[in-house]
Amino acid sequence: MKSDVQVAVLGGGIVGAAMLYWLAKMGWTNSVLLERRELTSGSTWHSAGNTTHFGPYPAMTRLFAGSIRSYLKAEQESGQSVSFHQTGSLRLASTERELHLFRTYKARYAELGIPYHVLSPQEIADLHPLLVTDGIFGAAHTPGDGHVDPVGATNALAQAARKLGTSVERHCPVGALHREDGHWVIETPKGLVRAQNVVVATSFWAREMLKPLGLNLPLYATQHQEMITDSIPALEAMDREVPAWRCSYVSCSVRQEAKGVLAGVYESEPKFWALDGIPDDFKEDLFPPEIDRIMPHLERLIERMPSFGEVGIKVTNNGPMCWTPDGLPMLGPMPGHDGLWLATGFNVGIGTGGGSAEFLAHWMTKGKPPFDLGIVHADRFGSDMTTEAVLESIRKVYALGYELPDSI
């Protein structure tokens, strides 16, 4: 194991692997990734793997686009498939207000060079014949969207990074972390690692990991339920995949999975997990399904896509999802802690992880971020938020689901 490095990346999910990859691409190859178990064993492995270009914040759209680009580059360089399915996606307008917002986004996507269209209800039906368009005013269509295999994408990034000279240490949990003689010293079962820089990409573990340094990160996990249906006859009869779709009325994200669909629900009242600390024995664990909690959303889903209710559910995943008070990740240096960088707080790690890693690696290696993205800076919350205030903010942002702000 490397014991004296330029960067130690803590955490082997999609974000950590992407950080290792982009640091290596930018010349910092004397880097090591430390993972307590196997790559993806935190929350990446049970992710839906969705990739999209759509979002209300222009700067974040650049991270979305960068993520898809990162995974495809890593696939080419490593030979490891990321299984990208470019299905496109639809953001349904359940109100005239949403349709108006979708139209205002056109100029932004044109400026970024990202294909983007606003569709009529009939055009929606042509693209996705299983959707009922009654009560739908239109949709935003981003044809470059799709989904990847989260495990495949993570391994592609790690393999491509290793080819450039970095290393990955599995089954290497981080113990104490402290500053000594201008370096960070990391205690692991495999020995000490001295690093000029540390990137914390450990999702909801970051809060407890950095407490001994006097940091109070506003990170907590909610349970998040996703389900995969049995095959749907109408999809079996089609020779193409239908677009993914999201809808504020349903508060759900739905995409095709084989010949069934995968649906992830954002509940009106989230259920928190591990408020008193993450259990020491937590591994690749899922929680028992609680379908009753999300039945109101599933009823609306069936209203919008009746075929969902005509087949059985073969898999239900209920796993932890990391949240910050505003729902955006924490990226950047921590003031007062030289060489300590955060890449954590992602609730859509696949969707933004690759682009976020490219953004942060540029900041680290070039001395400044590649573009202004103050909305995700790691120190934006300060250190004075109480636990109660953090949880209340997370409740509100989680319950919003796919509601859009009036302005950006």
103-123 average pLDDT score: 96
Nearby residues of 236 by Cβ (< 8 Å), 6 or more positions away? 259
- Measured over the CA atoms of residue 15, residue 16, residue 17 and residue 21, the dihedral's sign is positive
What is the per-residue pLDDT for 161? 98
Q: Are strands 167-169 and 260-265 parallel, antiparallel or unpaired?
A: unpaired
CA distance 282 to 128: 40
5-13 average pLDDT score: 97
* Main-chain dihedrals φ then ψ at residue 235, nearest 5 degrees: -75, -35
Q: How confident is the model at residue 318 (pLDDT cuts 50, 70, 90)?
A: very high
345-355 average pLDDT score: 95
What is the per-residue pLDDT for 383? 80
| Nearest one of 31, 340, 341, 15 to 168, comparing CA atoms | 31
Q: How confident is the model at residue 402 (pLDDT cuts 50, 70, 90)?
A: confident
Domains of the chain: 4-81+149-218+325-384 (3.50.50.60), 89-145+221-323 (3.30.9.10)
Q: What percent of the chain has pLDDT over 90?
A: 89
- Measured over the CA atoms of residue 318, residue 323, residue 327 and residue 328, the dihedral's sign is negative
What is the per-residue pLDDT for 163? 98
pLDDT at 94 over 90: yes
Instruction: Give the model confidence (pLDDT) of 155-174 as tens digits.
Output: 999 999 999 999 999 999 99
Beta carbons of 40 and 150 less than 8 angstroms apart: yes
pLDDT at 373 over 70: yes
Instruction: Give the model confidence (pLDDT) of 250-304 as tens digits.
Output: 999 999 999 999 999 998 889 999 999 998 888 778 999 999 999 999 999 999 9
47-67 average pLDDT score: 91
pTM comes to: 0.96
327-345 average pLDDT score: 97
What is the per-residue pLDDT for 407? 55
Instruction: Extract the tokens encoding 55.
Output: 């979002």
What is the per-residue pLDDT for 400? 87
Provide the mean pLDDT of the chain. 95
